[in-house]
Amino acid sequence: MASKNTFDIVSLGNASIPSPIHLSKTAGEKIFSFVEDSDRMLMDVSLADFNSCIRNNTQPNCLEKAGPREALFFDPKSTTAAIVTCGGLCPGINNVIRSLFMALHYFYKVERIIGIRYGYEGLIPGNGHDFLEFTPDIVKDIHEFGGTLLGSSRGAQSVPEMVDALEKNKIDILFTIGGDGTLKGANAIGEEIEKRGLKIAVAGIPKTIDNDIDLLDKSFGFETAFDVASPIIRNAHNEATGAFNGISIVKLMGRDSGFIAASTAIAMPVVNFVLIPEIHFALDGPNGFLEALKKRINLKHHAVIVVAEGAGQNLFETGTEEVHDASGNIKHQDIGLFLKHRIKQYFDTIETKTTIKYIDPSYIIRSAPANANDSLFCNRLAHHAVHGAMAGKTKFVIGRLNNRFVYIPISKVVNQRKKIDMEGEFWFAVLQSTGQPFSMK
């Protein structure tokens, strides 16, 4: 049988140290069993892909199942692990930090676990950020709070200097908690480590509130985001119905993907329009957004609009130079304020009085503590990341695909951003919930 790419994970070498975790090796003992590297999960679970593999006599793409291994690469007694958090804030970061520490300290008896302060900046000695020496007392309550105990930063740092710092401080495992830019940085660190022939593992826990990490079912913090946003939408609806021809515009996160805006609209079904980066819409014309909004106002005399921050960028004047943030992301124009201005202008032109409220709760949502479901998810991601790293796996991310926790090469998830399928059932559910037109072009 011909073999397709199986997304194999790089290993630092032979794992020969017995795990201190006492698990089963025999079925039927009613004790969880060690996971074998040969345990694989299918990427595509559709019948169509199965039939295609049968026809072409090929092995389907599959991923390593996450979980504790019987043999370790690192000796826990002499292992130093480091944790770094990068990029913007997101609910659940402290949960991941705490769970990483707890797994390393209590499961594997790793004696030295340090925190890198203020993102990758903390690995550059010239920035003057001291390491944090973790203890159980330091992490015991941090899951109750939003933000990150370690601090964070954006922007690229010198990869050779960062690897120098890892080598000088005798760090054996680096856990990176961050989004697309952080994971690209982690992969570059892993490549430099490999080039130098060092035995240092790099493991990624993908963090993006926008839920736009490719291949994965979801990223942590995402569910908390639309959970926190839902009562804000309810209050925006109250504002809209509190005035004749009241219009509430709520801008939510979503630089390239509209998952938060779309999920919030379904969770709180008082939203009448959802505008996301995946769709181009026109403001003017018989099929444009403003005409659709006018019909809604004439019918119900109020409207709630949820817009993702990256939506409608095609509506701004072209020709201006792109501005990027420290992470290399394009800084978008403020679509919320733009819509407020254009909606008022339009209704003034047709002599229709409106009351428009614009709400941007982004930073409140980003800094919220994780809800119960995200807390559970963060805990499991962290534990599985520790199991993989202690076994000597490197340049991988831990994630959930098809409801199974798996290890995926970092290089496979940073090629593109995950986006809403405009022909998929999820977006159709949004259209059914809002009643907005299928197209506003």
* Residue set of the binding site for Mg(2+): 180
DSSP code per residue over 36-61: PTT-EEES---HHHHHHHHHHTEEPP
- Residue 188 to residue 202: CA distance in whole angstroms: 10
Length of the chain: 441
Residues with catalytic roles: 210
| CA–CA separation, 274 and 105 (whole Å) | 45
Known binding residues for ATP are: 88, 154-155, 179-182
In contact, 38 and 383? CB cutoff 8 Å: no
Give how far the C-alpha of residue 258 lies from the chain's centroid of Cα atoms, to the nearest Å: 13
Torsion angle of the four alpha carbons 307, 310, 314, 320, in this order, in degrees rounded to the nearest 10: 130
CA distance 224 to 208: 12
Alpha helices (H) in 129-275, listed in sequence order: 136-139, 159-168, 180-196, 222-241, 259-267
Which residues are part of a known binding site for substrate?
A: 208-210, 253-255, 309, 363-366
Comparing C-alpha atoms, which of 94, 84, 93 is closest to residue 121? 84
> What's the rounded Cα separation, in Å, for the pair 354 and 244?
7
